[in-house]
A = this chain, B = another copy of it.
Amino acid sequence: MRKITIEKNYLPHAEGSCMFSLGDTKVLCVATVEEKVPPFIEAEKKDQGWLTAEYSMMPRSCNERISRKKLQNGRAQEISRLIGRALRACVDLEQLGKRTITIDCDVIRADGGTRTASINGGFIALVLALKKLHEQRLIKTFPLKGYLAAISVGFVGDEMVLDLSAKEDNIADIDMNVVMMDNGDLVEVQGTAEGHTFSKKDLDEMLKAAKKGIEKVIKEQKKALDNVQCYNVQ
């Protein structure tokens, strides 16, 4: 597994932020809190908040430059939806109150694992924003259900690889992204075999390895958030 670096409060004016590095992959994760909820929640008259995410790659994040127009594609929207769905799993939206947290994940440099780095760094930004709301006494109970992290795992030929780099990802036969809580519960499992297949046994092995990887990520997250002491639900 590649080295994790977390630069907390990278944008001090934002509610929560960090520059999250996973090897050479680097994602700027920023949480914005707005005192409104989307129309579909307003319409249902639910007394709850919302969390959404937006993922985007920067033009020269890859080895070759990609035009800004081509970067706004289906893949980016799919990953945005994944990040939002994953992070919603660890927040108590009712306790959050009638506000929306938007997590912007902008990929500064892409060397594989941009979606897992976005979830992991997005979690940091989210918790920092929740902490700010809590400190300002805008929310009574700290609405975090637990720590959450993501990791990729796959097979390159017969060899299982954890936290694939771009080079490994390109030649991998099977690619799986796993999102998990700190209690071991699964939030999202996306196993994909582009032009290949995999057995139930492969799946089990990959899940086992992913669990170990996620535990390491959560350890780093806890370290980064230690000073703010905000990781327990009160």
Which B residue sits closest to A174, measured CB to CB?
Answer: B186
A112 to B57, CA, bound (A): 25
Chain A, 78-114, CB within 8 A of any chain B CB: 78, 80-81, 85, 88-89, 93, 102, 104, 106, 108-109
Say yes or no: B191 contacts A189, CB within 8 Å: yes
Say yes or no: B78 contacts A28, CB within 8 Å: no
Q: Is A203 an interface residue (CB 8 A)?
A: yes
For A60, A68, A77, A93, which residue has the most chain B Cβ atoms within 10 angstroms? A60
Say yes or no: B54 contacts A85, CB within 8 Å: no
Say yes or no: B195 contacts A88, CB within 8 Å: yes
A108 to B106, CA, bound (A): 10
Q: Is A13 an interface residue (CB 8 A)?
A: yes
Q: Is A159 an interface residue (CB 8 A)?
A: no
Interface size class of A (residues with CB under 8 A): 35 or more
A72 to B75, CA, bound (A): 14
Query: A73 to chain B: which residues have CB within 8 Å?
Result: 77
Q: Is A181 an interface residue (CB 8 A)?
A: yes
A191 to B60, CA, bound (A): 32
Q: Is A74 an interface residue (CB 8 A)?
A: yes
Copies of this chain: 6
A73 to B73, CA, bound (A): 10
Q: Is A170 an interface residue (CB 8 A)?
A: no
Q: Is A226 an interface residue (CB 8 A)?
A: no
Query: A193 to chain B: which residues have CB within 8 Å?
Result: 89, 186-188
A197 to B189, CA, bound (A): 11
Q: Is A194 an interface residue (CB 8 A)?
A: yes
Say yes or no: B74 contacts A30, CB within 8 Å: no
Query: A202 to chain B: which residues have CB within 8 Å?
Result: 186
Q: Is A160 an interface residue (CB 8 A)?
A: no
- Could you tell me the distance in whole angstroms from the C-beta of A181 to the nearest C-beta in chain B? 6
Q: Is A137 an interface residue (CB 8 A)?
A: no
Query: What is the 8 Å Cβ interface bit string for chain A, positions 30-59, against chain B (1 contact, 0 not)?
Result: 101010000000000000000000101011
Query: A207 to chain B: which residues have CB within 8 Å?
Result: 200, 203
- Give which listed residue, B34, B68, B185, contacts A65 with CB less than 8 A: B34
Q: A54-B68, A186-B200, A186-B202 are in contact. List 6 more A-B contacts (CB 8 A).
A: A30-B58, A74-B77, A85-B192, A184-B200, A186-B197, A190-B190
